[in-house]
Amino acid sequence: MHGLWPETPPYGTSACVAPLDATPPVDVVPCYANLSCPNCADDGSALGFETHEFGKHGNCAGVANATNYLDQVCSLAAQPLAVMARARAAGGDLDALASAVAAAGYEVFSTNAATGELYLSACSNRDYKAVGPWVLAPVAGFDVACGSGQA
């Protein structure tokens, strides 16, 4: 999983809600422990990738700190990743993975064939005061999933 990217202007209408603590991550969270990404940001390590993601996207995600941001990413991604793993094991390509994720009840907001990524939509309730939680929800259902104060 790549990360949680609030769609702040000019990409969307999400408010930028700064973290309570903007200190970069110092430890690798468990779901990134086996990450090997030589083409990723910084030094290609899991910690380098986490640092890049938190610095670029976590700074507007309304979270408590880097660990809270990364733990929410891992939590949000766990079930869709399991669905994708089953579809991939059955020989599925990106379209098959997207179909399987959608059939499991998650809105696939878009796909990127060049990078092999699926983008899922998520919202967060602004009233939760900068600690999340983010939830996967269809864009049309943000008001129900996160209330009218969603970010």
What confidence tens digit (pLDDT) does each residue in 24-75 have? 999 999 888 877 665 565 666 888 889 988 998 899 888 899 999 999 999 9
What confidence tens digit (pLDDT) does each residue in 93-113 have? 999 999 999 999 999 989 999
What are the residues whose beta carbons fall under 8 Å from the beta carbon of 148, sequence distance 6 or more?
none
Rounded CA-CA distance 137/71 in Å is: 18
127 pLDDT above the threshold of 60 = no
Higher pLDDT pick, 120 / 9: 120
